[in-house]
Amino acid sequence: SDVSDRLYSASICQDPAHFSQTMLDLQNDGCSNDFLAFELIPNVARRLGASWVDDVISFADVSIGCARLQSALRKLPDDIPRYVDACDGVELNCLVLVPAGAQHTMGAMVLAKQLRQARQRVVIELTAQEATLSLLAKQHDFDVVLISASCSEDPADIQSLIQTCRNYWSACRVIVGGSFCDLSESDLGTVLADRLTNDWQEALDLTSRDFTRAHVSILD
Over the stretch 57-106, which tens digit does the pLDDT of each residue have?
999 999 999 999 999 999 998 765 555 555 566 789 999 999 998 877 89
Computed from CA positions of residues 198, 86, 113, 142, in that sequence, does the dihedral angle turn out positive or negative?
Answer: negative
Phi–psi pair at 68, nearest 5 degrees: -65, -40
Compute the distance between CA of residue 156 and CA of residue 207 in angstroms, rounded to an integer.
Answer: 24
Q: Confirm if 182 and 188 have CB atoms less than 8 A apart.
A: no
Q: Kindly report the pTM of this predicted structure.
A: 0.84
CB 12 within 8 A of CB 48: yes
Rounded Cα distance between 53 and 76, Å, is 29
128, pLDDT greater than 80: yes
